[in-house]
Structure 1
């Protein structure tokens, strides 16, 4: 009898990981202790925190914890460490290409302004890639709660660093506090320059939020997009246009988008032909990195190894990785599927 193939050996791309949220919990604790910073119990003894962001108060608590975590990154060496450790963790889970999402505005006051901050993060990504032996690229993300002109500034900055590792332009934070259409100018700038458009949508709001990202912002991928499952017509559109949804099951559960893992409509979206890239979103706050998302697909959503391989292929196809990298990864995924799973030891339960 064969056991399922090891998911840690399945080559894959990770397209939905936020910079601060990628930090190891142990690193958060260590840096806070070094700097004499107080962390709330939710980030220490009661970690991962119990979150529910479906109302304003819940989102405020989530954002507050995120902002507290950001304060431990005081030195350039902290930035290099965070990205290096994130890349190491990706490599250990079989992730061979990472697109990490950053909003330089959150650190600009600490590292000399927007441009020096982005240059620091890009250099950290370059060094981390070499250290871990994987590809690491950067998505610059605007904040929905700030003025659209700030987003235009970030879009212009992102386009200036396309040859140094910026591959996409995103839009994050609470989608209830900023309509996608308000940021169409910034996305036009980014798309015109050749960046991927990867706004968040369809997490705390429904299918209409996903549709607005697609119709107004020209989304190539949608961050989350899980609520697209509420509209068969929208799922058909996403499938036809090959617009990928970056589904983050553990995040959906942690923020109260769904009550339990079984309620994430991953199977419905996949069966409708919607391209999917599984993501971890913010492991620091949700307690799970990329590999557990694939484990949920196997254990909860009933994906067999051939379907898991297809999920991995979809993540690679939706990435901004160079064509040669994509081709090699797709071949390696085929090799994973063609290999025989480990045998069950004699006498083990069947």
Structure 2
């Protein structure tokens, strides 16, 4: 008998736009738009991936690109965001930041500004339909020119306070050093946006250190390889930089071979703030509640420790202060309640314990 994870208030801070799509929705939209999906996205779903080498990352990107290509109408955007909100609400989330690079969708929706406006309107509609509060992270692509990132930062700054809460940097961190994008992040920070670049996933501690030094990161997407440098972990803990740890993604992309190798417990015990995330559940399977179940069942997190994970995610979010206070109070209430049976502990998605090369299949992936 344990407290239900689905009733633990939490924030979801690492969720990519196309990657948030439900698998049946992908199949349905592909049929409607005449997009042929490879077996890895149909009968062999979720795909088995390994992106620790350049070829593997290319295959991962191909799958993401194919999935993104089904998002061709405003209705598909509204559907994706509403369903992502429904899934996170069912997992107990009170706040979700969905991450999007508008340039990956602008060709279908009349340019960057119109695309971001559409996403923000879909977010507002999803909030009204589900009761989940949401923010948008505009993310630049580190494989593109830094001037493109500056353009996105200016766009994000225009919508600061109107739904955009953070500015990120995604894609293969082996291409494009953090310093190249310092100008874009300076623009975003001046607008009051959180600095939330990816780092420490496919590269080691230096990648995380550069996010801190060059981009003044408030959060780091993934960041798990910071564990290789105890002094860096101590700095992360001291500065209160939140690491967006996505266990099933780390296995799916071959960062580690097995779930128990994710350094979640080591980072937590060292005092690093952690926000559990899903990254791309469309490609990896398990969603938000399952990440907390992994913390409980694989890493032995007690209910007080799960509550602290939830608190860390809330504190590290771009949610308004009043909502943070409300959610933190809800965490205390959850912990004060007696344990009970988890209602419908779902998930059930396959996690690759020994990932290998994917079948072929991006602009704003993990």
TM-score interval, smaller chain: over 0.9
CA distance in 2, matches of 1:343, 1:12: 19
Residues 117-160 of structure 1: CA deviation (Å, up to 9, x unaligned): 00000000111011110101100000011000000000000000
Matched, 1:324 2:325: no
Residues 85-131 of structure 1: CA deviation (Å, up to 9, x unaligned): 00000110101100000000001111000000000000001110111
Tell me the SS of whatever aligns to 1:175.
coil
1:4 to partner: Cα distance: 1.0
Q: Name the counterpart of 1:157.
A: 155
CA distance in 2, matches of 1:94, 1:76: 27
Kindly indicate whether the alpha-carbon contact (under 8 Å) linking 2:222 and 2:244 is maintained by their aligned counterparts in 1.
yes
2:235 to 234, 237, 241: 237
Tell me the SS of whatever aligns to 2:70.
coil
CA distance in 1, matches of 2:93, 2:162: 21
Q: Name the counterpart of 2:208.
A: 210
Q: Which has the higher contact order (CA 8 A, sep 6+)?
A: 2
Q: How does 1:251-262 map to 2 (within 5 A)?
A: 251-262=249-260
Q: How does 1:112-127 map to 2 (within 5 A)?
A: 112-127=110-125
2:170 to 163, 172, 180: 172
Tell me the SS of whatever aligns to 2:312.
helix
Aligned residue pairs, count: 342
Matched, 1:16 2:45: no
Tell me the SS of whatever aligns to 1:239.
helix
Tell me the SS of whatever aligns to 1:331.
helix
Tell me the SS of whatever aligns to 1:14.
strand
Tell me the SS of whatever aligns to 2:65.
helix
* TM value normalised by structure 1: 0.97
Unaligned ranges ≥5, structure 1: 345-350
Residues 6-54 of structure 1: CA deviation (Å, up to 9, x unaligned): 1011110000000000000000001111122110000000000010000
2:223 to 215, 225, 235: 225
1:333 to 310, 331, 334: 331
Q: Name the counterpart of 1:79.
A: 77
Q: How does 1:106-145 map to 2 (within 5 A)?
A: 106-145=104-143
Unaligned ranges ≥5, structure 2: 343-366
Q: Name the counterpart of 2:37.
A: 39
Runs of 4+ deviating beyond 3 Å: none
Residues 222-281 of structure 1: CA deviation (Å, up to 9, x unaligned): 000010111100000000000000000000000000010000000000000000000000
- Pairwise CA RMSD of aligned residues? 0.9
Tell me the SS of whatever aligns to 2:276.
coil
1:343 to partner: Cα distance: 6.7
